[in-house]
Structure 1
C-alpha cells in the first residue's frame, strides 16, 4: 500500500489530514476519488480551501497543481462550492463536530442519538 504523499502534489500535511479522516493510503484515495475524499475532509473538520481541493483533483490525474486553468478551473469551483455547501457546517461548534465524528450526534442534525 502506497502512502498518500506518493500522489503528485500531496505532501505530509495533506496526508495527515486524510489520515485524520480515515483515508490512509493512496489506493484508498484513488478509489474514493477527489470529491468523496474531500467531502470526508470537510466532515472531519478540515477548513474548505479551493486550491487545496483542486490540488487533490490534479494530483489524482497525475498533473501539476498549477495546470488547472480556465473553464476547467471554473467547473472545479462549482464542484468545490457544492461540496462545501453539503459537507461543511459553519454553524457547528467544535464539540458538535467531535460528537458527530464519534456518532453521538447524527450528521446534519442537532439532535442527539443517545
Structure 2
C-alpha cells in the first residue's frame, strides 16, 4: 500500500523520513502502525518513544514532524525549527519529570507487600 493511501496496518516506516529501524523503535513504545502514529501526533508519539527507552534527539523529533506533514526532514528551518525546538524541549522536560515520579500504583503495591515507600 502506498503512503498516500494508508491502511491501519501500514508500518511506521511508510511515513516519510522514517525507516525500518523506526518500526522497531516505535513498536517498543506500543506504536505499530503509521495510522496509529498519525492519530497520536508527533508530540505524544515521541514522548511514548522516549518512555520506551529511546534517547531524545532533536533531529529525530523534527524528522518525524516533517514526515507526518509529508515533507523531507531537512525542510525544517528558521522560525519553524526554533518553534519545534521549544516543543521538543518541553517533551524532554515532561519526560524527565515523569521519570522522577513514582510509577503509578507503586505506593499501594509496596504497602501490600509490607515495605511502604521511603520517605
CA distance in 2, matches of 1:44, 1:26: 18
| Residue 106 in structure 1 maps to residue 114 in structure 2 | no
Alpha-carbon displacement from aligned partner over 1:57-109 (angstroms, at most 9, x marks no partner): 000000000000000000000000000000146x76xxxxxxx8xxxx329xx
| TM-score, length-scaled by structure 2 | 0.77
Shift of 1:112: 4.2
Q: Which has the larger radius of gyration?
A: 2
Question: Which has the higher mean CA deviation after the structures are superposed, 39-48 or 61-70?
Answer: 39-48
- The ranges of structure 1 where at least 4 consecutive aligned residues each deviate by more than 6 angstroms after the TM superposition are none
Q: What is the aligned partner in structure 2 of residue 47 from structure 1? A: 55
Matches within 5 A, 1:63-82: 63-82=71-90
Equivalent pair of 1:43/1:88 in contact (CA under 8 Å): no
Instruction: Spell out, residue by residue over 1:24-50, the C-alpha distance to the aligned partner (whole angstroms, 9 max, x if none).
Output: 000000000000000101111110100
Structure 1 residues without counterparts, runs of 5 or longer: 93-99
How many residues are treated as equivalent by the alignment? Answer: 101
Residue 64 of structure 2, aligned match among 48, 56, 60:
56
Contact preservation (8 Å) 1:29, 1:37 = yes
User: Which residue pairs with 1:28 in the alignment?
Assistant: 36
Displacement of 1:113? 4.0
Q: Give 5+ residue unaligned stretches, structure 2.
A: 1-8, 110-119
* RMSD of equivalent CA atoms: 2.2
